[in-house]
Every structure is written in C-alpha cells, then in structure tokens.
Amino acid sequence: MPDTGQTALLDRAGLDALVAALTADGRTVVGPTVRDGAVVLAELDGADALPWGWGTELEAGRYRLVRRDDGAAFAHTSGPQSWKSFLHPQREKLWDVDRDAAGELTVCPARNEPPSYAFLGVRPCDLRAIAIQDRVLAGGHFRDDGYAERRSGAFLIAAECTEPGATCFCVSMGSGPAAEAGFDLALTELIDTGGHRFLVRAGSAEGARILDRVPSEKGDTTTSDAARSAVDAARDRMGRAMPPMDLRALLGASPEAERWDDVAARCLTCGNCTMVCPTCFCTTTEEVTDLTGDHAERWQRWDSCFDLDFSYLHGGPVRASARSRYRQWLTHKLSTWHDQFDSTGCVGCGRCITWCPVGIDITEEVNALAEEARS
C-alpha cells in the first residue's frame, strides 16, 4: 500500500471524530481498552474507551497494568489478544448439512455477512502479523474464504510504538517499531511541549478519504520530525533481542540440539504461546449434530501444535514428547514457515514470553540454540 504522503494532526476530540466517522460508515471499530486488569481488544463506541493513562509492565510470565501520569493512549504493549481473534476467530462454522428422508445431503457454506471492521491501534508488529496471516490463509492456491472476506473489508489504523515493552523484540524481526506499510492510517502519539496529539499518515486512498472527513490540523515538519525521533528512540529501547544471525538456517540445522531437552523440562505444553501468538493459525474441525440427527454442522476452531492430538495418526501422536512439540513450534516459527509461506512466522511481539505460565522466553531459547551451534 503506498504512503499517500498526506499527514494531519489530531487531538483527543479528533480521534473521537475518527471513530465516529468509521462507525457512521457502518464499521465495527475495535481497539484496545482496559478490562479485567489487562488491555484487551474490544468494540469501541468512542475514543474515550481507549486506555488513556494506562501503561503495561511486562516480564516473562508476567503482565501488569500501571498508571501513567502523561495520559497516553498507546503507551501499553501487546495484550493477551491479537487481531486474529477478529480476522481468524477462535470458532467458526464452516458449513451446514441437512439430510432428507431419502438420505440425500444438502451442504450449505456457512457464510454470514462479515462485519466491516476498523481496527484502531494496530502495532507495527501486529500489522506484519496480519500480512503473514494474509499469506497463509489467503495467499496460497486455496483461500480461506471467511478470512479473506473479513480481511478485505477491514480498515487498519496503525499506532507506532514509542514505548516498547520488556518482552518486545520487533527490531530483531524487522517488523517495528515504525509502521511502514499495510495500513490505511498510521498514528504516532506525541506528548510534549506541543501538547498531546496524534500525527496521522494516510497509507491508502480510503485512509485519505476518511481523514478528510475528520477535523484536523495540517501536519508540519516539526511534528513529523518529533514523531520520527520518538519512534527511532523506541528502536534503541527494545526489551529483548534475537541473536543477530540467519535464524532460519540456525533452526533448520538444530533438530537434534540438546537445548530441546532443557526447554522440554520446563514447558507445560499448555499451548498458551500458540493461542496468544498473532501469526499462529492452526485449526482443527468438529462435527456437531442436533437432536433430530438430520442436521449437522462443521466447525473450525483454533488448535495448538502443543496438543497431543494435533499430530495423531492411527495408534498415537507423531509428536509424543514435549521436546518434539516445542521444537515443532519454534522451528516452524523461525525456519520452516519460510519454506511454506516465504516469510518468518514471528514478528517479535513478545506475547508468547509474557503469557507463558512458566516464563519460557523465545529469545532466550534461540540465543541458547545459537550458543550450542557455535560450541
């Protein structure tokens, strides 16, 4: 998507007007909001619902909301959800089947009118994650129609990162903290002597059209420069890093590494890391029948490669050990994903580190594998 070059400045009221304009267009606006002690993604009825004045403190296996006195709306980092909850939902009906008295089957694809989403506050790492799921689910020979429909109608408003979290490593993965492409609008939040405001860049014709309908000031170079340096500063404050090397080659050459036994001794194979990961796409299917026995539904739901059943093949799972399942997950993320989909499967959002109940840290594991490969 080309950067149309159009920039503007919004204040809090302007952001609210943007939400109102999108809602008026019939869009469901989804963005971050504080709920149950976390920043979650939910439908927003206005910009007031954003987490103004909330930040997050993250560590491996730990997440906490903290108050900020600067009132920032986008100073929090990745929460437990990602946008895949909306584009690639946890459960989705695939088809309905009816069997008539003669035993004939009538199969109907389950196609609901997809909501027309506007996502407000998509982090650059998550923008990349959406682009990766686009490749996986809509970029191959077969297309996941439900995903493709929801995705093609979605309007993306990025929020660049100026406050990276302690588990973030987007710089290592080349996916942040700046938003470079794949958005309709990109916001950079600025709080300085010039006040609390948002620099907005349009990244698509539709983004520019919406921006025209919102009261704003013209962007100036001083503000643009301030925004650039705030994002550049974030680049130097990443909480974590991958070893600076070809990760695809490293993982490709490590199937028998001893480190897998080490991590397997800690991993609970709970699958949390796969649920929170914005690129993990795996699903399984379920057959549901009603009481008459003449109506059946086929459902798809998220699945995890940590589940024993995931690799089940008559008689038992192919990947029985925790070692082989953690290895599958990490090797897929960083190596075989390239073979399968021509991109990495990790964007450095840090969610898997934050939400692992035992604090397993993907960057620490990869650094250990790199160390083992060197020795």
Partner 1 sequence: MSTVPVPYRVIDRWDETRDTITLRLDPVGEPLAPFAPGRFAMVYAFGVGEIPVSVSSIPTDGGVAHTIRAVGAVSEALCRKRVGDAVGLRGPFGTGWQLETARGQDLVVVAGGIGLAPLRPLIRRVVADPRAYGRVNVLVGARTPADLVSRVEIRRWATAYTGVTVDHPGAYWRGEIGLVTRLLDGAQFDPGQATAFVCGPEPMIRATARDLVHRGVAADRVRVSLERNMRCATGHCGHCQLGPVLLCRDGPVIGFDRAEPLMRTREL
Nearer to partner 1, 126 or 144 (CB): 144
Of 265, 290, 313, 375, the residue at the interface with ligand FAD (CB under 6 A) is: 313
Nearer to ligand FAD, 142 or 265 (CB): 142
Nearer to ligand SF4, 173 or 211 (CB): 173
Residue 16: alpha-carbon gap to chain centroid: 24
Instruction: Give the count of residues interacting with ligand FAD (CB under 6 A).
Output: 3
Q: Cβ 252 to partner 1, closest distance in Å?
A: 8
Q: Which does 352 bind (CB under 5 to 8 A by kind): ligand SF4, ligand FAD, partner 1, none?
A: ligand SF4
DSSP for 162-221 reads SS--TT--HHHHT--SS--SS-SEEEEEEEETTEEEEEEEE-SHHHHHHHHTS--EEP-H
Number of residues that this document lists for the chain = 375
Residue 68: alpha-carbon gap to chain centroid: 24
User: Which residues, 6+ apart, have CB-to-CB distance to 324 below 8 Å?
Assistant: 260
The answer to whether the beta carbons of residues 38 and 79 sit under 8 Å apart is: yes
State yes or no: residue 308 binds ligand SF4 (CB under 6 A). Answer: no
Q: Cβ 48 to partner 1, closest distance in Å?
A: 38
Residue 129: alpha-carbon gap to chain centroid: 5
Of 36, 69, 236, 256, the residue at the interface with partner 1 (CB under 8 A) is: 256
State yes or no: residue 352 binds ligand SF4 (CB under 6 A). Answer: yes
Percent helix, strand, coil in the chain (nearest 5)? 35, 25, 40
State yes or no: residue 314 binds ligand FAD (CB under 6 A). Answer: yes
Q: Cβ 361 to partner 1, closest distance in Å?
A: 23
State yes or no: residue 319 binds partner 1 (CB under 8 A). Answer: yes
Cα dihedral across residues 326, 328, 333, 335: positive or negative: positive
**Which residues would be at the binding site for partner 1 (CB under 8 A)?**
94-95, 97, 99, 103-109, 136-137, 140-142, 144-145, 255-256, 281-285, 287, 289, 293, 296, 298, 300, 303, 305, 310-314, 318-321, 323-324, 328, 331-332, 335-336, 339-340
